[in-house]
Structure 1
Amino acid sequence: MGPTSTLRHEHEIILLVLNGIERGAGSLRATLLDDPDWLDTIVDFVRNFADRCHHGKEERHLFPRLEERGIPGAGGPIGVMLQEHEQGRAFIRSVAGAAPEARAGDTEAMDIASEALLAYVSLLRSHIAKENDVLFMMAERVLTPEDQTELGAAFDRVEADEMGEGTHERYHELAHQLGEH
């Protein structure tokens, strides 16, 4: 599987979780009554799978290689993707900050968490569409076979060295649970 195929597959996992987030955030009080740790679970998935693993592969490996191949960074499509990654991180910081009070029943904290989650869902759906339909298509045109091989190896190192054995699979399983929530 090539690097853009790997990232597209991870997008499918993230989209599954976004569906679960949208449902859970839409009725957050009921969600937290059913699962008081739901917000913490969402924050864990987003920070570790979506951001550390997936965005890490993009930011540390794919994007620099694309810039080497002539795709503009700052002011171009890569710059937009990086800005959206930061925006997503800010939404998740809001969720994490509100989680303890929301879990304790504070309606204002629930509103903050719910609004941040729904904004995150909207941002990420749009972001994923841009990557899948524009940036990855550009990548497939400019990456050499050697680039593809090197990026695949770099992605494998992220999985093995940074995430740890079995972590990716655990987050896939969690994604299916969250998507069905």
Structure 2
Amino acid sequence: MDAIDILVNEHRHIERVMDVLERAVEYGRGGGDVSPVLFERAAHFLRTFVDGSHDAKEDEVFQAITSRGLLPGAGVLAALSAQHTAGRELAAELSEAVRAVTQGEKEPEALFTLSERYVRLHRGHTEAEEMRFFPMVRRLLPVDVMERVRAKFARIEATHGPLADAADALELAFPLPVPTVRRPGSVRAHPWVGR
């Protein structure tokens, strides 16, 4: 597995967290009670594992590409860097919104709106990387450079822990509901209510 394979694999784990957020928003807007703790833990995941680990790994790829002559401000690289910044800002806003909702200063809709914005950003960012940037990286970076980048990934992950494990923990703490056939009048508590 090369450095790009690692990043693509991490995208799949991040997508699982995006799915949890998306379903929580849908449930909350449908009248369900979604604890702000879900959004607090998601914001922690976004700051620690997406920004602190995954984006840091992508930054290593950016540096390797720029060392090969692609200007840091050129085209796709500039757009991806700006999206990293936007993601960092949205994660911070989500953390602040959790505090405000918990203290009764804002309505839960603030959590839903920020979560939707982050999910849209992530999905567009992932598509741009996987369709445009990663193929370019594979064309431009020789195997020995890719191996050095991969070695740097290991050091980054040692600092934060495995992103996949963090996604597993969040998904297990707030599992997606399984559609069930219910008898009229029966109520099934959502797994993330009251956590």
Tell me the SS of whatever aligns to 2:108. Answer: helix
Q: CA deviation at 1:75?
A: 3.4
**Are 1:79 and 2:78 matched, yes or no?**
yes
Q: Is the 8 A contact 1:94 1:112 kept in 2?
A: no
84-93 or 1-10, larger mean C-alpha shift: 84-93
Structure 1 segments, 4+ long, off by >4 Å, are 29-32
The residue number in structure 2 matching 1:93 is 92
Where does structure 2 lack aligned partners over 5 or more consecutive residues? 178-195
Q: CA deviation at 1:97?
A: 0.8
The residue number in structure 2 matching 1:170 is 165
The residue number in structure 2 matching 1:17 is 17
The residue number in structure 2 matching 1:112 is 110
Structure 2 CA distance for aligned equivalents of residues 5 and 31 of structure 1: 40
Count of paired positions: 176
Structure holding more helix per residue:
1
Aligned CA distance change for structure 1 residues 121 and 168 (closer, same or farther; 3 Å)? closer
RMSD, aligned α-carbons: 2.2
Question: TM-score when scaled to structure 2?
Answer: 0.81
Question: TM-score when scaled to structure 1?
Answer: 0.86
Q: Is the 8 A contact 2:10 2:163 kept in 1?
A: no
Q: CA deviation at 1:66?
A: 0.8
**Are 1:152 and 2:150 matched, yes or no?**
yes
82-91 or 64-73, larger mean C-alpha shift: 64-73
The residue number in structure 1 matching 2:41 is 41
- Give the one of 172, 176, 182 matched to 1:180: 176
Q: Which has the larger radius of gyration?
A: 2
- Give the share of equivalent positions with the same residue, in percent: 24
Q: CA deviation at 1:29?
A: 7.0
Q: Is the 8 A contact 2:13 2:163 kept in 1?
A: no
Letter in 1 for 2:40: D
The residue number in structure 1 matching 2:186 is none
Structure 1 CA distance for aligned equivalents of residues 31 and 81 of structure 2: 31
Q: CA deviation at 1:42?
A: 0.5
Aligned CA distance change for structure 1 residues 175 and 151 (closer, same or farther; 3 Å)? farther
Structure 2 CA distance for aligned equivalents of residues 179 and 89 of structure 1: 25
Structure 1 CA distance for aligned equivalents of residues 139 and 64 of structure 2: 13
Q: CA deviation at 1:95?
A: 1.1
Letter in 2 for 1:110: P
132-141 or 33-42, larger mean C-alpha shift: 33-42
Aligned CA distance change for structure 1 residues 33 and 82 (closer, same or farther; 3 Å)? same
